[in-house]
């Protein structure tokens, strides 16, 4: 943060760690260990969050109920499986700034994006384009291009990508607004991330949504790198739909179950076209097994099949912690922690690397992306060998995410110290 007064020494890092009011949450997670038994420095929560210590007990409870009850666990388990997903609805709605009837936990991220686009991408000869950001996560681009082809259009004509200006690393919001103003009458869908996976740029979802709606576009978001990272206000921003995974900042486990948001103005409209499955059928008549689909009048109406109870249990363990900590407090720590890491990296100006993520806290989350033009993969591997876990994205980006739930200020200090050693700066 611009007003924060940081210091470069180890003593300052130790002081910040010792006086951090959120430090108790670190003890709620299994921290990776080095070979010598000391804590590793795990800065990869943007890719896979750490395991909450309660996750094992939550999952084992369902295993025990499966063992002793079999199919009766759907109704007689300690946490009955039939409505189990509803145990996560309120906490997930709080996390993303939504009403409870606008949120459902289900499927995986790209599956949810396809299901939502089946409803909300309705191209016509006059309005068939989809706007995304350049360098979108590949799965998003694949999904969007396949939806365009599915409807008989060509991505070469119907896919619009906007990137940064020449010499810049982040996309200006005013450039997005200007493009929407110019092309909006031909754009059927705007699909942006909350945070770009590669650069770490956080987008102004409110302004993008307003610009899109002013031109009659549907506006959706992939919040994979934003949910659990930034305070979100999906309902207040009047977003049409959104989807996110749970295995990154939400610590739901590898391949964890995902979530989605459908604005209540759409969620209550049971006549909307959709790909239907029985779990989205009205709960009162679901077990009559009738031939005609009757959608639940909420985001749950987009469900297909009964969800994995074990995946829900793992995510529930983490969501309990988020409810205790609160996104506002987590965001306050995140701004300090990421700002401190940025400060440490800026202590040694070097041609060996560049921070491509915005220096403005409002335009980033808990991730800094470092461009290393030469031998960067070696640097990342050397850090991993020293027990410092980040990740590498071709061709030249190392992503580093100090997560406020379980990372300490000392983690940032150790990373910077070892990074400078590895890079030779």
* Other Cβ atoms closer than 10 A to 309: 23
Q: Are residues 280 and 388 in the same domain?
A: no
User: What pLDDT, on a 0 to 100 scale, did the predictor assign at position 3?
Assistant: 60
Are 237 and 97 found together in one domain? yes
Do 252 and 360 reside in the same domain of the chain?
Answer: no
- Six token digits for residue 413: 């200090």
Counted domains in the chain: 2
DSSP 51: P
The one-character DSSP state at 347 is T
292, 175: one domain: yes
* Same domain assignment for residues 206 and 312: yes
Q: Residues 6 or more apart from 61 whose CB is under 8 A from it?
A: 78, 79, 313
| pLDDT by 10s per residue, the chain, length 425 | 446 799 999 999 999 999 999 999 999 999 999 999 999 999 999 999 999 999 999 999 999 999 999 999 999 999 999 999 999 999 999 999 999 999 999 999 999 999 999 999 999 999 999 999 999 999 999 999 999 999 999 999 999 999 999 999 999 999 999 999 999 999 999 999 999 999 999 999 999 999 999 999 999 999 999 999 999 999 999 999 999 999 999 999 999 999 999 999 999 999 999 999 999 999 999 999 999 999 999 999 999 999 999 999 999 999 999 999 999 999 999 999 999 999 999 998 778 999 999 999 999 999 999 999 999 999 999 999 999 999 999 999 999 999 999 999 999 999 999 999 999 86
Q: Sign of torsion, CA 80 81 87 89?
A: negative
- Whether residue 343 is found in the same domain as residue 308: no
Q: Report how far residue 165's alpha carbon sits from residue 401's, in angstroms, rounded to the nearest whole number.
A: 25
**Residue where a domain stops, chosen among 264, 296, 322:** 322
Same domain, 347 and 417: yes
In a domain, 301, yes or no: yes
Are 220 and 191 in contact by the 8 Å Cβ rule? The answer is yes
Q: Which residue has the tokens 């309902």?
A: 235
Length of the chain: 425
CATH of the domain at 414: 3.90.1150.10
**228 and 157 together in one domain:** yes
Report yes or no on 38 lying in a domain.
no
DSSP 160-203: EEE-PPTT-SS--HHHHHHHHHHHGGGEEEEEEESB-TTT-BBP
Contact 166, 109 (CB under 8 A): no
Q: Return the pLDDT at 424.
A: 87
Cα distances (angstroms) measured from residue 267 to each of 4, 257, 258, 261? 43, 21, 18, 9
Predicted structure pTM score: 0.96
CB 260 within 8 A of CB 242: yes
Last residue of a domain, one of 284, 302, 322: 322
Give Rg (Cα) of the chain: 22
Residue that finishes a domain, picked among 322, 340, 363: 322
For residues 99 and 154, membership in a common domain is answered with yes
Answer whether residue 355 is part of any domain: yes
Q: Check residue 222 and give its pLDDT.
A: 98
- Tell me if 387 is assigned to some domain: yes
**Pair 143, 280 in one domain:** yes
For residue 244, the enclosing domain spans 60-322
Q: Based on the fold, state whether residues 209 and 355 are members of the same structural domain.
A: no
Q: How far apart are CA 425 and CA 407, in angstroms?
A: 25
The gap between the terminal CA atoms of the chain, to the nearest Å, is 25
| Residue 244 sits in the same domain as residue 348 | no
Please provide the DSSP assignment of 9-32 as one string: SHHHHHHHHHT-TTGGGGGGB---
Residue 39 in any domain: the answer is no
């Amino acid at each position: 943060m611009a007003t924060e007064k940081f210091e470069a020494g180890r003593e300052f890092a130790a002081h910040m760690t010792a006086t951090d009011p959120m430090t108790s949450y670190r003890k709620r997670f299994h921290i990776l260990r080095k070979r010598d038994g000391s804590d590793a420095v795990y800065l990869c929560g943007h890719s896979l969050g750490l395991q909450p210590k309660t996750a094992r007990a939550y999952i084992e409870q369902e295993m025990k109920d499966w063992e002793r009850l079999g199919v009766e666990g759907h109704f007689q388990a300690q946490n009955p499986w039939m409505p189990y997903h509803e145990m996560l609805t309120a906490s997930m709605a709080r996390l993303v700034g939504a009403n409870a009837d606008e949120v459902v936990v289900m499927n995986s991220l790209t599956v949810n994006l396809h299901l939502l686009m089946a409803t909300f991408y309705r191209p016509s000869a006059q309005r068939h384009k989809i706007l995304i950001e350049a360098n979108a996560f590949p799965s998003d681009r694949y999904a969007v291009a396949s939806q365009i082809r599915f409807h008989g259009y060509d991505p070469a004509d119907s896919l619009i990508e906007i990137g940064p200006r020449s010499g810049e690393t982040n996309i200006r919001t005013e450039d997005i607004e200007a493009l929407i103003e110019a092309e909006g009458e031909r754009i059927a869908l705007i699909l942006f991330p909350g945070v770009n996976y590669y650069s770490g740029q956080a987008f102004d979802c409110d302004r993008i949504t307003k610009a899109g709606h002013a031109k009659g576009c549907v506006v959706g978001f992939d919040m994979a790198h934003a949910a659990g990272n930034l305070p979100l206000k999906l309902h207040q921003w009047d977003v049409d739909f959104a989807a996110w995974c749970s295995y990154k900042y939400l610590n739901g486990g590898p391949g964890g179950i995902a979530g989605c948001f459908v604005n209540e103005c759409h969620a209550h409209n049971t006549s909307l076209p959709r790909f239907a499955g029985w779990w989205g059928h009205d709960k009162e008549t679901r077990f009559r097994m009738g031939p005609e689909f009757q959608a639940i009048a909420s985001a749950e109406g987009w469900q297909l099949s009964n969800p994995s109870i074990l995946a829900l249990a793992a995510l529930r363990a983490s969501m309990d912690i988020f409810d205790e900590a609160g996104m506002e407090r987590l965001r306050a720590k995140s701004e300090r922690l990421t700002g401190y890491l940025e400060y440490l990296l800026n202590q040694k100006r070097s041609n060996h690397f560049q921070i491509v993520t915005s220096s403005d806290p409002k335009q980033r989350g808990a991730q800094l992306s470092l461009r290393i033009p030469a031998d960067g993969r070696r640097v990342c591997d050397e850090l991993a060998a020293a027990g410092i876990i980040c990740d590498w994205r071709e061709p030249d980006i190392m992503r580093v995410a100090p997560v406020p739930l379980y990372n300490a200020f000392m983690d940032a200090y150790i990373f910077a110290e070892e990074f400078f050693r590895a890079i030779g700066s």
